[in-house]
């Protein structure tokens, strides 16, 4: 198991500090704000700690405020309903007494029933595709200096895109993508940890699909982007330590927001579905006047995102 995966699993092993109340630590490798997939995955863990003998089948969540990586997150679980077949939990994630994220998670007792699935799209063998780190090194000066260390670091999730990636400035401009994913190490056989890791990984690249149709390549600071909500449905068992294919597209955008959706396939079968709406607001280019003349300046994307809500 890679060190990065080991650290991610530790983050997901949140601490129970009281009945229905948990505390989670944060990744420290991001640019001054929390990664939404981390908060979503930890919220799923918190909900799961209050449920027995059934697995999650859906998660519906809203990102309310930017999170601070320096502050632990407190997760409060509300036991909405315990039915004979379904169990519902509401999770609120807070920092400094303010909600930054809330989610509704539904659990279902296993039942036999009808089954069907879309066919998995054709895609190149993942072993023949460059790793994330290889793409980052190939990007060279297209990637800002302050981002290179993070982009080239070891990752818990091995992602291999079948086309270019906007973050590296080499995407071809279409509004869809195919990305192979698996963990950088073997996992336990507990299906729940595989679901939590897919929840984490499902937020990694959806936003990119929204901007592909409008910006060729990607200029850091040129667009204000932030996840607004996230929905995830689990259809069938899968393993995140084996390759899964994440097919994504963005069929619509408007009003400063974009919509993206994703389908996750394993062994040729669709095992999960994802949907997300995100803020997608162009940042005006700075005026050429000097600072001494009082010229306007565009905000970097990461600072502007903090004002998104």
Q: Is 297 a catalytic residue?
A: no
Per the CB < 8 A criterion, the answer to whether 240 and 207 are in contact is: no
Q: Which residue among the candidates 94, 159, 227, 263 is catalytic per the annotation?
A: 227
Per the CB < 8 A criterion, the answer to whether 199 and 60 are in contact is: no
The residues, ordered by sequence, that sit 6+ positions from 46 with a Cβ below 8 Å of its Cβ are 14, 22, 24, 75, 77, 91
Cα separation, 298 vs 133, whole angstroms? 30
Q: Which residue among the candidates 104, 159, 203, 205 is catalytic per the annotation?
A: 203
Q: Which residues of 292-304 are buried (b: 16+ CB within 10 A; e: fewer)?
A: eeeeeebebbbeb
Q: Which residue among the candidates 43, 159, 250, 276 is catalytic per the annotation?
A: 276
Q: Is 227 a catalytic residue?
A: yes
Signed CA dihedral, 153, 154, 155, 156: sign only: negative
Q: Is 276 a catalytic residue?
A: yes
CA distances in angstroms from 309 to 4, 199, 283, 291, 304, listed in the order given:
31, 23, 16, 28, 10
- Helix, strand, or coil here: 3? helix
Written as six digits, the tokens of 275 are: 């949907």
Active site residues: 203, 227, 276
């Amino acid at each position: 198991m890679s060190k990065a995966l080991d650290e991610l699993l530790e983050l997901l092993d949140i601490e129970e500090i009281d009945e229905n109340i948990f505390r989670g630590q944060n990744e420290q490798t991001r640019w001054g704000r929390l990664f939404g997939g981390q908060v979503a995955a930890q919220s799923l863990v918190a909900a799961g700690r209050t449920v027995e003998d059934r697995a999650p089948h859906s998660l519906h969540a809203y990102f309310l405020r930017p999170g601070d990586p320096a502050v632990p997150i407190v997760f409060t679980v509300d036991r909405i309903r315990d039915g004979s077949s379904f169990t519902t939990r509401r999770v609120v994630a807070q920092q400094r007494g303010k909600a930054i994220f809330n989610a509704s998670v539904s659990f279902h007792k296993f039942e036999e029933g009808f089954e069907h699935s879309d066919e998995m799209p054709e895609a190149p063998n993942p072993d023949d595709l460059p790793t994330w780190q290889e793409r980052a090194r190939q990007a060279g000066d297209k990637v800002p200096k302050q981002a290179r260390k993070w982009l080239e670091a070891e990752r818990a999730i091995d992602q291999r895109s079948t086309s270019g990636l906007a973050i590296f400035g080499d995407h071809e401009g279409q509004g869809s993508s195919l990305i192979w994913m698996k963990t950088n190490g073997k996992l336990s056989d507990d299906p729940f940890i595989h679901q939590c890791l897919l929840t984490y990984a499902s937020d990694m690249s959806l936003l990119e699909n929204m901007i592909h149709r409008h910006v060729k390549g990607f200029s850091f600071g040129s667009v204000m982007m932030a996840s607004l909500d996230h929905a995830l449905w689990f259809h069938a068992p899968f393993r995140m330590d084996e390759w899964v294919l994440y097919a994504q597209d963005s069929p619509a955008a408007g009003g400063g927001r974009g919509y993206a959706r994703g389908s996750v396939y394993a062994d040729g079968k669709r095992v999960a579905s994802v949907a997300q709406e995100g803020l997608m607001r162009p940042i005006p280019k700075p005026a050429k006047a000097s600072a001494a003349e009082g010229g306007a300046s565009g905000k970097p994307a990461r600072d502007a995102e903090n004002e998104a809500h």
